[in-house]
Structure 1
Amino acid sequence: MATFVLVPGAWLGAWAWADTARAVRQCGHTALPLTLTGLSERADQGGPRTDLDTHIADIMGFVAEHELRDVTLVAHSYAAAPVTGAAGRLGDRLERVIYVDSAPFAAGMGMLDLMSPQAADDLRQQVDASGDGWRLPMPSWEVLGSSSSLDGLDEGQRDALRERATPQPFGTYAQRLAGPVEPGPGVDRVLIACHDFTGLLDAGAPMLAYLNQPPWRRFDLPTGHWPMLSASAELARVLDEAVS
């Protein structure tokens, strides 16, 4: 049986994984969702100095505190950045890394590099105007839907997500990832692609071509960008299949 450490994406906490974690445990695995500094129940622990290194340290500390071995790290969306950093540092504690509708980051890459200069500037202005200079409020559904599929999220789930979301410490977006970033050669590498990402992979996007080749194993999940909310049971099934 596997030990999953479930890392949520931007604006989310461990709560977002609750239904998927419950279903994963019913398969006989250990499922441990965590909340990163500055978010959800740890919102008051964040500050202007909270950055990507902070979240990498959160993951490393969580694994050490729980004395975990043979860990399967699961990254959703933004969490790909700190999970990539942690995966390069965990050594033989790490058995597998799974990216959910996301992909590993290269050294020197940050979240702002994934968007246009204008979009990055818009976020900086939003942080300055309504985030005390260091927090990024969750954007509108219109903005989120322009870059990420909202498929499968009903009105109640959107309302719950909006109500429970907390502003993201912007340092986690602004800081670029420093090495090491490569897990050990024996670490299993898995990608779970949802609607939009599946399309990019099937279209043969050059920057993502390596994800369609060994040692990567790919699973497709026909739902939107938040599968732990829109398809929690199906995501748990794919996680179970990935480690079986």
Structure 2
Amino acid sequence: MTTFVLIPGACHGGWWLEPVAARLRALGHRAYAPTLTGLGERRHLATATVNLDTHIQDVLGVLRNEQLEEVVLAGHSYGGMVIAGAADRAPERVSSLVFIDAFVPRDGDSCWTLTTEEQHEWYLDVGEDGHSIRPLPFFDPRATPHPLASLLQRIRLTGDLGRFARTYVYATEWDGQSPFEPFYDRYRDDPEWTVHALRSPHNVLRGNADEVLKILLDAAE
């Protein structure tokens, strides 16, 4: 039995990864798909002060309150920032990291510094509250505005992610320039990483859930 904690990307809640978590549980594993503060069913908690540290603390709360160990932490898109921060702060609870078409930060990085100009335009399209970015038109109807501060805040990492087994999943069918191509290029020939390229848009669970499930199970081994 392996324990998985699955973290969604911007504007998405635990509902996005829950179908995969349910399949993992059906196979006998423990799997959690928490919703980060200010999103999904926790939208009422959104404030201008919700930032990357808040979301890292959300994940640390799951790890510590559920007394989880030897965890496979997986993050999609923005979720890569969150799992990197959580693993750095609680390395004794984490065995493996899976970045699913996601940011892989180094100390001092932020989503803003790592992404493209096209994504910058999206980040700056804040809604009426002045501190949340709008879901993109093609997102699931359940998507909610995302706290801007979490995308701008620079991460602080005190250790090397090389302490963990690492997997990168790259979606090859972006419409335009993928902000995640630099990570794929960086790690695809690195023997310390397991790298997969999926013929998929950024929403890798739409039509590729079986492949993602297999990659998670392989990461557990």
State whether TM-score is above 0.5: yes
The residue aligned with 1:101 is: 101
Residue 213 of structure 2 is aligned to residue 216 of structure 1: no
Q: In the alignment, is the contact (CA less than 8 A) between 1:37 and 1:54 conserved in 2?
A: yes
For residues 160-214 of structure 1, the C-alpha deviation after alignment (integer angstroms, 9 at most, x for no partner) is: x1x10000011111111122253362x21111222248xx99xx95884234312
The residue aligned with 2:210 is: 233
Residue 27 of structure 2 is aligned to residue 30 of structure 1: no
SS in 2 for 1:217: strand
Q: Structure 1 residues 241 and 179, CA, compared in 2 at 3 Å: closer, same or farther?
A: closer
For residues 31-59 of structure 1, the C-alpha deviation after alignment (integer angstroms, 9 at most, x for no partner) is: 11111000001111120100011111111
Higher RCO structure, 1 or 2 (CA under 8 Å, sep 6+): 1
The residue aligned with 1:171 is: 149
**TM-score (normalizing by structure 2):** 0.88
Q: In the alignment, is the contact (CA less than 8 A) between 1:5 and 1:74 conserved in 2?
A: yes
Residue 18 of structure 2 is aligned to residue 18 of structure 1: yes
SS in 1 for 2:99: strand
CA RMSD of aligned residues (A): 2.4
Q: Structure 1 residues 205 and 72, CA, compared in 2 at 3 Å: closer, same or farther?
A: closer
SS in 2 for 1:213: coil
For residues 47-82 of structure 1, the C-alpha deviation after alignment (integer angstroms, 9 at most, x for no partner) is: 010001111111111111111000110010011111
The residue aligned with 1:150 is: none
Higher helix share: 1
SS in 1 for 2:5: strand
Sequence identity, in percent?
A: 29
